[in-house]
Structure 1
């Protein structure tokens, strides 16, 4: 409700206005948007989330009828934070933090985020010294692509040992290669020999990008100094993490999430685990006959293969590419009577329709565990397609699934977001 009131105030501001000096009200407004539950105790936060998940499940139940735990780390839990660069409340265009407002309403402002409960001190320190660097740089930040500028986001990724990987994205505009080399050397010196050395970075990456987001394949991450990777301990495994790889932002919460997936899936030495997210499969590999992992990002697959080799895991097979392209052929080769347990962990956009088709039409898949970070929207459509009667027009020919159990797991204290683990059987 607090966030909605703030949004209504922002929408009423049709024209740019004087933002005024930086004070506690800006910090509270940012906290209300980024961590809107921060004013509540953690017990109250869990009650809010429980009721929200309950309503979602009740809505899902009504759709299907028509068709016939506590996170131990609640503060500073994020292992990855992405900081933007833009104009602050005081008008400083080289402010590093999080956005408030919208471009549409012309009231966008960047507010420093070191007071937020979910951001660790190390990430705030990295953001603080990136801002110090920007103040010293003669180059302007890239606030809007059409308006020019160079310096863009700063990403901080830490592990439980305190090692820190930092990534700077930079719009090259029309700079020549020798000019780019000067800028890379300048930022390297600042964080190794200048005042930024206090951040004690394990590695610093630099990515030239003329897009909002791009992968390593689109624009390679350039290692300016330090180790090329950091590592994380997860459920007894040493996980290999590269700049481009996906990893849950809450490590302790991820362990709870993967344990929940393992318990609900019921995998054993006679099952093949099909994992459309390689890390979950790696955490369960010791309990299964074989793990088949599919990942879109090539770097994530390379990380998974390294992790498997380092930890002595020999029953994993990883494939790079779009699941909707790989999955149908992969499942055809496994239709030999052996039970397949599928685990999917899609992004907020949900599963591609062809992935749903492939899962639905593979009779060997008797158990499906669906991990959703956004259980409404497209995920609801996925669930209906998995559970509806056979439909030849939609090419959903296999036996329908039945939703048996739902377990919410809180990876995001102080926010309304929650992971929902859904168990389907047939």
Structure 2
């Protein structure tokens, strides 16, 4: 896997801040997990509840690791069990909510659909292909500490701590973060091309001035200081171009496992049209393009759409079209006049905020869509509302007149070892 890094410079007041952005199934027990595993999970929850989740006597580096990767102290198999139990609770909540709406689900006490064990990440340490660091005052008062923030604005106790103990950050990224980075563009370029930072093997070096810790290219343009204007990743035999502002999964090998499963679950064939909502740089659609008749991608980030179109052309894929704009504006127009007789399968991969109600309504009311794959990085959040809107009985008042979907299968994929997060793939059909 290629090392992909981007560097951006941000200014806050008079201080300049630097930021470096530099299907095997688990053998874990299913619903009937062992008592020992349950006790370990509960012990972890108690230990990590609230703000004081770090162990007594922990170093600042360990406190940072507890905040950024709260499961790092657990053996990996126990991490997977914690995540399995979290996803099970999500489905239990969804089952109860569906029952309240009068939806016929499985027997009381069971889940609305089978939940498979968490698919483990092929790589558990140093898997991030992009890392973000800041330069600010550290716990020892050093104003040029390079690392990640610990603390809260409300408590006014934020400090910048080195990422030595953060297991998902690659060693080369940590090495760069431990050096004193120059704050001038020329020195910054020299540092990464011929200085101590050369070991990171940057392919692109960007500079961004901002009054915020994070902002878009439109808000504050990225300035290329060195290298190629894009970074590249190889995924499932394809090469993908990625702009600094475009979304791409941080765990490349884990994403390959996820997308392979999506292809199998979609049951798409040469007669299928694949609708890829929130498509980013086109990774899902392009990885499945050669097995389907056509791919239609929708994405709000214009730069990502430019990448997707370039990726299709570079990889010799001609059966894809990509639309730039908000999904709630593009998708209803696309589907309201849909007359194609080919099977239509939808894949939705939104941010943590889920998809807009108008997107749900457009999918729900399109008779051609019989199969839907929802990839969710935070199923306990707004995505639950999406699930209920997809599965509830017809509601003319909300203009949900189409036949309801039903959850068929849930599979969690661990793309973020040592954290509490994973990607949950929910298969719906009707």
- Aligned pairs for 1:392-403 within 5 A: 392-403=396-407
For structure 1, which segment, 23-32 or 249-258, has the greater mean C-alpha deviation from structure 2 after superposition? 23-32
CA distance in 2, matches of 1:201, 1:336: 46
Match of 1:125 among 156, 175, 186: 175
- Cα displacement (A) at 1:261: 1.1
CA distance in 2, matches of 1:41, 1:355: 40
CA distance in 2, matches of 1:110, 1:292: 43
Pairing 1:404–2:408 present: yes
Match of 2:82 among 48, 61, 68: 48
- Cα displacement (A) at 1:356: 0.9
- Cα displacement (A) at 1:84: 2.2
CA distance in 1, matches of 2:127, 2:178: 19
Match of 1:366 in 2: 370
- Aligned pairs for 1:17-56 within 5 A: 25-56=59-90
Q: Does the 8 Å CA contact 2:172/2:199 hold for their aligned counterparts?
A: no
CA distance in 1, matches of 2:76, 2:96: 31
For structure 1, which segment, 404-413 or 207-216, has the greater mean C-alpha deviation from structure 2 after superposition? 207-216
Cα distance change of structure 1 residues 361 and 256 upon mapping to structure 2, 3 Å threshold: same
Cα distance change of structure 1 residues 295 and 217 upon mapping to structure 2, 3 Å threshold: same
CA distance in 2, matches of 1:241, 1:91: 37
- Cα displacement (A) at 1:191: 2.6
Q: Which runs of 5 or more structure 2 residues have no equivalent in the other structure?
A: 1-44, 104-118
Match of 1:245 in 2: 246
Q: Which structure has more RCO (C-alpha within 8 Å, separation ≥ 6)? A: 2
Match of 2:149 among 99, 120, 139: 99
Q: CA RMSD in A?
A: 1.8
For structure 1, which segment, 216-225 or 407-416, has the greater mean C-alpha deviation from structure 2 after superposition? 216-225
For structure 1, which segment, 310-319 or 79-88, has the greater mean C-alpha deviation from structure 2 after superposition? 79-88
Q: Does the 8 Å CA contact 2:305/2:323 hold for their aligned counterparts?
A: yes
CA distance in 2, matches of 1:242, 1:206: 14
- Aligned pairs for 1:92-171 within 5 A: 92-129=142-179, 132-134=180-182, 137=183
More helix by share: 1
Pairing 1:63–2:97 present: yes
Cα distance change of structure 1 residues 3 and 257 upon mapping to structure 2, 3 Å threshold: farther
Match of 2:211 in 1: 210
Q: Does the 8 Å CA contact 1:3/1:32 hold for their aligned counterparts?
A: no
Cα distance change of structure 1 residues 3 and 120 upon mapping to structure 2, 3 Å threshold: farther
- Cα displacement (A) at 1:197: 3.5
Q: Does the 8 Å CA contact 1:371/1:421 hold for their aligned counterparts?
A: yes
CA distance in 1, matches of 2:139, 2:70: 20
Cα distance change of structure 1 residues 104 and 202 upon mapping to structure 2, 3 Å threshold: same
Cα distance change of structure 1 residues 24 and 388 upon mapping to structure 2, 3 Å threshold: closer
CA distance in 1, matches of 2:413, 2:65: 22
For structure 1, which segment, 84-93 or 37-46, has the greater mean C-alpha deviation from structure 2 after superposition? 84-93
Q: Does the 8 Å CA contact 1:3/1:36 hold for their aligned counterparts?
A: no
- Cα displacement (A) at 1:198: 4.0
CA distance in 1, matches of 2:317, 2:252: 21
CA distance in 1, matches of 2:98, 2:134: 42
Match of 2:355 in 1: 351
CA distance in 2, matches of 1:56, 1:261: 20
Match of 1:78 in 2: 128
- Cα displacement (A) at 1:8: 4.3
Q: How many residues align?
A: 365
Q: Does the 8 Å CA contact 1:3/1:33 hold for their aligned counterparts?
A: no
Match of 1:15 in 2: none
CA distance in 2, matches of 1:208, 1:395: 45
Pairing 1:337–2:341 present: yes
CA distance in 2, matches of 1:80, 1:98: 14
Match of 1:312 in 2: 316
Q: Does the 8 Å CA contact 2:48/2:70 hold for their aligned counterparts?
A: no
Q: Does the 8 Å CA contact 2:61/2:164 hold for their aligned counterparts?
A: no
Q: Which runs of 5 or more structure 1 residues have no equivalent in the other structure?
A: 11-22, 138-182
Q: Does the 8 Å CA contact 1:273/1:292 hold for their aligned counterparts?
A: yes
- Cα displacement (A) at 1:24: 5.7
CA distance in 1, matches of 2:197, 2:340: 58
After TM superposition, the score normalised by the length of structure 2 is: 0.81
- Cα displacement (A) at 1:413: 0.8
